[in-house]
Amino acid sequence: MARWPWQSTTAPSPILVRDARNVDMGGVLEFCQQRAVDAALLGEHVEAMVAGPQLREQLLCVSTPAGLAGLCWTGGNMVPLGIEPSAMPDVAAELRRRSRRYSSIVGPAEGVMALWELLEPTSPRPRDIRPEQPSMAIASDPLVEPDPEVRVTTEDDFDILMPACVSMFTEEVGHSPLSIGGGYERRVRSLVAAKRSLARIEDGRVVFKAELGTVALGVTQIQGVWVDPELRGQGIAKAGMAAVVAYARAHIAPTVSLYVNSYNETAIRTYDAVGFRQVGTFATILF
C-alpha cells in the first residue's frame, strides 16, 4: 500500500534534547542531587533556575521515555552530566547546531571524553586535553591541624592577592588570564566579596591561597590552590588546605570537593593527608 509523503516508516527517536525553558526544574534538581559532587559545577545554575527563568536556555536536558537521562550546561564552560551513551550523538548534534564557543569542556570523565570524540571533528584544536583528573571529596573534619594564619580575604587584600591568583592561573593553564579581558579580575573580586577566598598573607606576601569556586547541592568545590613557589615543600599546603576545609564545612557546605591532574602526585598526596578521598574521575578539554 502506498504511503503519503508525511507517513514515515521510521519510528521517531525516543531521545529528546531541549533546553530547560519548559521542563520540570524540580526533576532536574533531583537528578543533580543524586550525584551532587559530580553535579556541583552546574548545580549553582540549576538551583538559580528553580527560582527563576534566567539562563534556562543554556541548560540542555536529555529525556527518554524513562525520564531525564542527562544534562549539559552550555555557558562559558561546557559541562555534560550523566548523559546516557545512546543520547550522546543527539547532544553533540544540538551543540553543533548552536555553534557556541567554549573555553573548556569539563566534568565527569566518561561523559566529557565521549562527547569530545563526537565534537572533535568540527571543533577548534584544544590547547590541552586532561583525560584523567581524580575527583576528591571530604565530608568530615580534616586529618591535619588547620593553619591558624589562613583567613578569609577582604577587599583590602586585593592588590596583594591578585598577582598570586594570576600566577596560579598562568601556571595551571599556560597563559595569563589578564590577556583575555577583565573577567578574571571580576571573578576574583566576587569571590572575595562572597567570603569564598582564603589565604595566608605574611609581610605583604601571599604564602598560600585557595578559593571556594562553586557552591551547590550541599557541596563546595575548592579551586585555585597555590603556594608561593619559594616556599613549596614545607607542608604549607597541608595545613592550609585543612584550614580551608574547616572553614568551608563550618560556613559554606558540609561536603568539600576538588579535582586534580593525575600527574600532580605531590598535590594528591597532600589532599590524601588532609582526608580527601577519590570519589570519581573528571576530565577537561581546554581551548
Q: What is the pLDDT of residues 47-69, one digit of tens each?
A: 999 888 888 999 999 998 888 99
Asked if residue 150 and residue 89 are part of one domain, the reply reads no
Tell me whether residue 4 is in a domain: no
Asked if residue 146 and residue 113 are part of one domain, the reply reads no
Cell 566518561 maps to which residue? 110
Asked if residue 168 and residue 83 are part of one domain, the reply reads no
Within 8 A by CB and 6+ apart from 273, the residues are 143, 144, 238
Asked if residue 183 and residue 148 are part of one domain, the reply reads yes
Count other C-beta atoms under 10 Å from residue 180's C-beta. Answer: 10
CATH number of the CATH domain containing 205? 3.40.630.30
Asked if residue 256 and residue 170 are part of one domain, the reply reads yes
Asked if residue 267 and residue 197 are part of one domain, the reply reads yes
Q: In what order do the strands lie in the sheet with 59-64?
A: 16-19, 59-64, 67-74, 77-81, 104-108, 277-286, 128-138, 255-259, 219-227, 205-216, 197-202, 151-152
Asked if residue 193 and residue 247 are part of one domain, the reply reads yes
DSSP state of 15: -
Q: How many percent of the chain have pLDDT more than 90?
A: 80
pLDDT in tens, the chain (287 residues): 444 433 444 555 688 999 999 899 999 999 999 999 999 999 999 999 988 888 899 999 999 888 899 999 998 899 999 998 999 999 999 999 998 888 899 999 999 999 999 999 999 999 999 999 999 999 999 999 999 999 999 999 999 999 999 999 898 877 788 777 778 899 999 999 999 999 999 999 999 999 999 999 999 999 999 999 999 999 999 999 999 999 999 999 999 999 999 999 999 999 999 999 999 999 999 99
> Which grid coordinates are listed for 170?
598562568
Asked if residue 228 and residue 153 are part of one domain, the reply reads yes
Report how far residue 110's alpha carbon sits from residue 177's, in angstroms, rounded to the nearest whole number: 28
Asked if residue 275 and residue 165 are part of one domain, the reply reads yes
Question: pTM of the entire structure?
Answer: 0.89
Asked if residue 240 and residue 119 are part of one domain, the reply reads no
Position 12 scores a pLDDT of 52
Cell 534534547 maps to which residue? 17
Structural domains in the chain (count): 2
Asked if residue 252 and residue 172 are part of one domain, the reply reads yes
Q: Are 158 and 189 in contact (CB under 8 A)?
A: yes
Cα distances (angstroms) measured from residue 90 to each of 55, 112, 127 = 21, 15, 26
Position 9 scores a pLDDT of 47
Domain that holds residue 59: 16-124
Asked if residue 239 and residue 143 are part of one domain, the reply reads yes
Position 193 scores a pLDDT of 96
